[in-house]
Structure 1
Amino acid sequence: MAAYGGLGVLGVPVGVAGSLVQGGWFPLGLLLALGGAGGLFWGGALVTRSRLGAAAPAGGWAVAVLFLTITRPQGDFVFAADAGSYLFLLGGMAIAVVCSTLAPSERPLFAVPEPRPRS
């Protein structure tokens, strides 16, 4: 449980950093932000060997990113209404789903059948 909690907390700064980088350096920043998020999600799945290992940092990432989409009363905002912001939001969600779906399990990919005794 501590690993999942730690991964969830680690998803927050990755979401914040990705939100800032994707808008600052548009074409490469978007790829860097999505690559960092995907690396965290897939790394969590590999470390914990479960789907929850990918979903925990994705939850922290989503909370941070959705919190940053809220417009402040002063009119300040992090996300502009452009294609890069939407690609970051939707691409990050798609990467989270893919990493959660393809997460490795405890079972081996190929099971070797046990030999049968000859009768």
Structure 2
Amino acid sequence: MSAVKQTPAPAPSPMPSPAARYVWYGALFVLGVLVGLAGSLVQAAWFPGGLLLALLATTGLFYGGLRATGTQIGVASAAGGWLVAVILLSVGRPEGDGVFGGGTGELIFLFGGMAIAVMCATMPRLPRPTP
């Protein structure tokens, strides 16, 4: 008979302290602004591939916020930054300039990003493994 060598399970990552979570929330908000800005520019420039790339980036950010903080507030802070950037870019200036031209791609980006944020916020969290 041969003995099977079992390796011990990895130790679970400790829950971040409240101060560390607040730092994560602030960083996710700033990343949300940056992803919203980049997505707004890319989705119109390389349609339809840019739209897909922008939506994939928002999905990665929102799901990453959920996994990094372990709470739905991580998704909400990233989505809040994303939404602020997208709304500010969609509002035109008095001269009539605006980033969004009002086409189908812009609407898919706006509503698709909001739908992705809701999906990520309502995903069940996986329980942390116990030692």
Please indicate, yes or no, whether the TM-score normalized by the shorter chain is above 0.5.
Answer: yes
Q: Deviations over 1:30-57 (max 9, x none)?
A: 0000100110000010011111111110
Contact 1:23 1:29 in 2 (8 A): yes
Q: State the superposition RMSD in angstroms.
A: 1.4
Residues of 2 paired with 1:73 and 1:20: CA distance?
20
Given candidates 19, 29, 33, the residue that maps to 1:12 is 33
Residues of 2 paired with 1:104 and 1:28: CA distance?
31
Residues of 1 paired with 2:54 and 2:80: CA distance?
16
Residues of 1 paired with 2:59 and 2:124: CA distance?
12
Q: CA deviation at 1:17?
A: 0.2
The match for 1:81 is 102
Amino acid in structure 2 at the alignment position of 1:13: L
How many residue pairs align between the two structures?
108
Amino acid in structure 2 at the alignment position of 1:22: Q
Residues of 1 paired with 2:124 and 2:67: CA distance?
7
The match for 1:98 is 119
Amino acid in structure 2 at the alignment position of 1:45: L
Residues of 1 paired with 2:105 and 2:124: CA distance?
27
* Runs of 5+ unmatched residues, structure 1: 110-119
Q: CA deviation at 1:9?
A: 1.2
Identical pairs, percent = 54
The match for 1:30 is 51
Alignment partner of 1:48 is 2:34: no
- Which runs of 4 or more aligned residues in structure 1 lie more than 2 Å from their structure 2 counterparts after TM superposition? none
Amino acid in structure 1 at the alignment position of 2:50: G
Please, what TM-score do these two structures have when normalized by structure 1? 0.86
Please, what TM-score do these two structures have when normalized by structure 2? 0.78
Q: Deviations over 1:57-114 (max 9, x none)?
A: 0000000000001111222111111110000000000000000110525x359xxxxx
